[in-house]
Structure 1
Amino acid sequence: MTIYTVHHSTAYRYPRPVKLGQHQMLFRPRDSFDQRLLDCQLAIKPDPIEIRWIHDVFGNCLTLVDFNILAEDLEFETTIRLEHTPENAPDFRIEEYAREHPFAYDDNELPDLDPYIRRHYPADTAVPEWLSKFVPLGVNRPTGQLLMTLNEAIAEGFSYQRRTMRGTQTPAETIGLQRGTCRDFALLMMEAARSLGFAARFITGYVYVPDRDGPTRLGGGSTHAWCSIYVPGSGWVEFDPTNGIVGNRDLIRVGVARTPAQAIPLSGSYWGDAGDDASMEVTVNVKSEPIAEAEIASNAMP
């Protein structure tokens, strides 16, 4: 078990005062058996007139921030601290009927999984053509092995390239360019898995990078994205095709959604002229601290 502290700051600078509209934040981690939120702090400048917390359709915790002011600068700063229990290796305890692919999901689960199975780019032939290179049609394969192969194919076959432009590349664009960001790779794996009949969903959060750990707060950094695939008997299994990770090791889960557009860490609006586009500075730091044995004992389940 490890304790992570995540500091995330975003600053917008406008060329002249603009009227700030509502902003929406997705930064509070989802509590579960493998991660437990210990502390959560939020600072906003200028002061908002109201801050509300709601759960969205996926059960994510959203923060809605309203303003009634003209401003040239807008800053959001969040700090979260949580316990994290990593999975050292994938544990595919798969139901007998799903141990080999292809298989059909249970009728009781299918209505809930169906939105996550449907392809979002059904007319796109690039994904099936790319899959055919290492997943031959008409051949049964162990389900866990197939998913790990798909994860590795993206991690080893594509180059990561940070992009400041908003939005996510289509899977066809990522395949054509042979490069992308973590959001692009997550979407590619989701679409590939869906084309094989799996239920897949998008995850946004943070990744712990040991090389960036230490007493000094470093600049730069960013949020991270990966995906999860529903495997009968194992539930939602996390796959990070950017880093080739299977399971939750080094991954701090914040929000899940059906599409990347539904899991944006920070979004909002303002009223101004066409030339009032803001510059943006983002800093993300993830630090770790070993949890004391005494604290482990005190937090143990009875």
Structure 2
Amino acid sequence: MTRLSIRHETLYTYERPVSFAPHRLLVRPRDSHAIRVVDALLTVSPPGEMRWMYDALGNSVCSFTPQGESTSLSIVSELVIERYPAPLAKLQVADPQTANPIVYAPADRAVLAPFIEPVTEDPDGALLEWLRARAGGTYEPALNFLLRLNRTIHAEFEYQWRDIGGAQEPSHTVQLGSGTCRDFAWLMVEALRRLGYAARFVTGYLYSPGHDGVRGAGATHAWCEVFLPELGWTEFDPTNALAESADLIPVAVARTPAEAAPISGAIFGDGGESNLTVEVDVRPADPLPAAA
């Protein structure tokens, strides 16, 4: 078990005062067998009405409506969590249906259908051509193929940090040969869907002591989850070639990157020039006090 402290600060500033529409916050993990939320504090300015709920995918969502007008909006999430790793290396998948092409049980397929259907277009066939050159043969174990594709994206594409904007279209990422973590995650998700895999987009945090050789540390992070018989939803981070790593701290899952944005909302009025600053710090938390 790893005990971690997470601080995620988001600050919007405007030239002139604006008022605010409701904002959707995805900044708190849901408690599970893999993550336990020990402490959570959400500090906002200006203040406003908050309401917590679970969305259709089980994400913990805060609906927040800032009150009045302001030239800034500050949202600070502070968490203490316990992360319980489930290493992938020792797991053996014996199910013969867990090989290319992937086959899901009917009951699973009914639930997984929205995550199997591709969302993006590939008008020039760039994504499909790239994928066909890297797809494994029939009967290759699905887990082996996924680990190989995860490593391939990490090795072939140049990481370029980008703090604003949504994820690139996967075909565009293939043509550019570069992107950021959300671009690589979205590329893997949409590529796998074209092969019949159920895949979803994940956002959260990355624990990276020292940040040495790690891409995407110091900010929110994104990766891919794939559903496999016998293993369930399994994490793959093509940005860093990680799989089921305890360093990945999931907060939200979604069908598309836009649905997994940590903070989304709108303003009313002409605020003039605006600026967005995001800072994320993940570090070991103070140990629990010893029992008396």
Does the pair score TM above 0.5? yes
Query: Residue type matched to 2:62 in 1?
Result: T
Q: Would the alpha carbon gap of residues 108 and 91 (structure 1) be closer, same or farther in structure 2, given more than 3 Å must change?
A: farther
The CA deviation string for residues 7-48 of structure 1, in whole angstroms up to 9 with x for no partner, is 011111100111122111101112111111100001111121
Once the two structures are TM-superposed, the CA of residue 95 in structure 1 deviates from its matched residue by 5.0
Higher mean C-alpha deviation, range 160-169 or range 232-241: 160-169
Unaligned runs of 5+ in 2: none
Once the two structures are TM-superposed, the CA of residue 277 in structure 1 deviates from its matched residue by 4.0
Higher mean C-alpha deviation, range 182-191 or range 95-104: 95-104
* 1:25-174 equivalent positions in 2, closer than 5 A: 25-48=25-48, 50-94=49-93, 96-124=95-123, 125-135=125-135, 139-174=138-173
Q: Which residue number in structure 2 is paired with residue 22 of structure 1?
A: 22
Q: Which residue number in structure 2 is paired with residue 252 of structure 1?
A: 249
Once the two structures are TM-superposed, the CA of residue 252 in structure 1 deviates from its matched residue by 0.6
Aligned residues of 1:25 and 1:62 also touching (Cα < 8 A): yes
Q: Work out the CA distance in 2 between the residues paired with 1:293 and 1:276.
A: 49
Q: Which residue number in structure 2 is paired with residue 284 of structure 1?
A: 280
Once the two structures are TM-superposed, the CA of residue 87 in structure 1 deviates from its matched residue by 3.2
Query: Residue type matched to 1:18 in 2?
Result: V
* 1:214-253 equivalent positions in 2, closer than 5 A: 221-253=218-250
For the residue of structure 2 that corresponds to 1:7, the secondary structure is strand
For the residue of structure 1 that corresponds to 2:165, the secondary structure is coil
Query: Residue type matched to 1:288 in 2?
Result: P
Q: Would the alpha carbon gap of residues 99 and 268 (structure 1) be closer, same or farther in structure 2, given more than 3 Å must change?
A: closer
Q: Work out the CA distance in 1 between the residues paired with 2:151 and 2:289.
A: 36
Once the two structures are TM-superposed, the CA of residue 140 in structure 1 deviates from its matched residue by 2.5
Unaligned runs of 5+ in 1: 214-219, 296-302
Aligned residues of 1:9 and 1:284 also touching (Cα < 8 A): yes
The CA deviation string for residues 214-273 of structure 1, in whole angstroms up to 9 with x for no partner, is xxxxxx921000011000000001000001001032011101111111100011111112
Aligned residues of 2:99 and 2:138 also touching (Cα < 8 A): no
Once the two structures are TM-superposed, the CA of residue 164 in structure 1 deviates from its matched residue by 2.7
Q: Which residue number in structure 2 is paired with residue 217 of structure 1?
A: none
Q: Work out the CA distance in 1 between the residues paired with 2:76 and 2:280.
A: 10
Q: Which residue number in structure 1 is paired with residue 264 of structure 2?
A: 267
Q: Would the alpha carbon gap of residues 290 and 166 (structure 1) be closer, same or farther in structure 2, given more than 3 Å must change?
A: same
Aligned residues of 2:206 and 2:221 also touching (Cα < 8 A): yes
Aligned residues of 1:90 and 1:246 also touching (Cα < 8 A): no
Say if 2:11 is the partner of 1:11.
yes
For the residue of structure 1 that corresponds to 2:266, the secondary structure is strand
Q: How many percent identity over aligned positions? A: 40
Q: TM-score, normalised by structure 1?
A: 0.89
For the residue of structure 1 that corresponds to 2:28, the secondary structure is coil
How large is the Cα RMSD of the aligned pairs?
Answer: 2.1
For the residue of structure 2 that corresponds to 1:10, the secondary structure is strand
Q: Would the alpha carbon gap of residues 227 and 293 (structure 1) be closer, same or farther in structure 2, given more than 3 Å must change?
A: farther
Aligned residues of 1:54 and 1:63 also touching (Cα < 8 A): yes
- Equivalent residue pairs, number: 286
Q: TM-score, normalised by structure 2?
A: 0.92
For the residue of structure 1 that corresponds to 2:27, the secondary structure is coil
Once the two structures are TM-superposed, the CA of residue 208 in structure 1 deviates from its matched residue by 0.5
For the residue of structure 2 that corresponds to 1:141, the secondary structure is coil
For the residue of structure 1 that corresponds to 2:79, the secondary structure is strand
Q: Work out the CA distance in 1 between the residues paired with 2:284 and 2:75.
A: 22
Q: Work out the CA distance in 1 between the residues paired with 2:268 and 2:289.
A: 53
Q: Work out the CA distance in 1 between the residues paired with 2:22 and 2:286.
A: 38
Q: Work out the CA distance in 2 between the residues paired with 1:292 and 1:222.
A: 26
The CA deviation string for residues 179-233 of structure 1, in whole angstroms up to 9 with x for no partner, is 11111000100111111111001111000111059xxxxxx92100001100000
Q: Would the alpha carbon gap of residues 43 and 292 (structure 1) be closer, same or farther in structure 2, given more than 3 Å must change?
A: closer
Q: Would the alpha carbon gap of residues 212 and 123 (structure 1) be closer, same or farther in structure 2, given more than 3 Å must change?
A: closer
Q: Work out the CA distance in 1 between the residues paired with 2:113 and 2:227.
A: 11
Q: Work out the CA distance in 2 between the residues paired with 1:53 and 1:150.
A: 37
Aligned residues of 1:117 and 1:194 also touching (Cα < 8 A): yes
Query: Residue type matched to 1:141 in 2?
Result: E
Q: Would the alpha carbon gap of residues 142 and 293 (structure 1) be closer, same or farther in structure 2, given more than 3 Å must change?
A: farther
Once the two structures are TM-superposed, the CA of residue 64 in structure 1 deviates from its matched residue by 0.9
